[in-house]
Amino acid sequence: MNPQILMFVNISVAHEDGIEEIVWIAYGMEMVFYLLSFATVPLLHHFLRNSKIFHVNLQLLFLVACYNVYPFTVARIGIIYYESQRDLQCGTYEPESNSCPIGLIVVSLLRVFVLSLVPVLLVAIFVERSVATVKVETYELHFYRPLAYLSALLSLCIAFFIATSFTFGIVSRTVADCLAISGTCMGGVFTLIVSQVNNEKLARIHNSCYTLSKRYQLGENVRTMQILTFITSFTILNNVFLVLLFYIHALEISWTIRNYIGIFLSLYMSIYYFFTTFIGLFANQQIYKLAKRMFIQKFVQLRDRSEKERENKQIFDTKGQMMYLGANQDDYFTQLESQWAACRTR
């Protein structure tokens, strides 16, 4: 059984076409965006935890998706290592199992796993939001953490099963494309349905005997769904776009065209990961204000530390004596008056 390897660039053809430098520039730009994502993901985690915008269960699922940028980057570095070898015998679409390096198969499987996890987590988010809608009166007090952990664990297992089935040829590329689009769209549609149900409940909030806890949780559900609707819509559009590019890349076209599509596809995925975590910092006004306040406080701390170090810095004169640097305007006039007084007494 021949493994299916997720590589998009043929470096040998790129060298013959004279675009090898463009490929390496694209590799460098990818790494820049992945490194930026390394910084934005912990910041987003910090802001989500302190802003209390999302329920802890929803935070878990959202952060599982965000933190996967780390293994995805590791897989991408491995892919680049093998992809840049001109004498690589393992083909991209019809590889021979006895000549394809095991390391390449592993990093390709890891890459497919992370890509498969995004649509699966959208469905998991729908499940979490459905529980929050049904259990609206008790969801604030009873966190249902086992359900959140189970959803995250099942999502990881399903994504691993899809990645393994794709890598070892059990699932064809066409079927994988259909699964990615259907899973993404299902998660988006279900999320919109839950959002509509919460909005209808909110419209009846004054004409019902809802408890104070139920009204509070309902309001939180609506605010959360407003943010999720934006993030889900953005994710759906990007996933469909990526799958279409992936499908075009797999067509029977020349490797020259494939290389250009592959360069753009890989670079776009790195920008997509960074942009997803970056917009999370501005997805809500409270998160944005918290981020802005933290950056301002950090800047003030750095400025005060710099001024304090400058004030405490010791400077010695030509005689080896430490010079006094703490003088201010009052000290200057006091010394000037003493000198005038000394002159008058002479």
133-163: pLDDT as tens digits: 777 667 766 667 788 888 889 989 999 998 9
H or E element, residue 172: none
Question: pTM for the whole thing?
Answer: 0.74
**30: Cβ–Cβ under 8 A, 6 or more apart, which residues?**
76, 266, 267, 270
What pLDDT does 180 receive? 75
CA distances from 116 to 41, 109, 171, 241, 273 (A): 19, 10, 13, 15, 14
Angle at 185 between CA 130 and CA 108, to 5 degrees: 110
Taking only the tens place, the pLDDT of each residue in 48-92 is: 777 666 778 888 888 888 898 899 999 999 999 988 888 777 755
Of the candidates 281, 246, 245, 279, the residue with the CA atom closest to the CA atom of residue 44: 281
Instruction: Specify whether the CB–CB gap between 10 and 92 falls below 8 A.
Output: yes
Q: Which domains does the chain have, with CATH numbers?
A: 11-281 (1.20.1070), 299-345 (no CATH)
Distances in Å between the Cα of 152 and the Cα atoms of 91, 127, 240 are: 34, 11, 23
- Residues 218-234 as b/e (b if ≥16 CB within 10 A, e otherwise) read bebbeebbebbeebbee
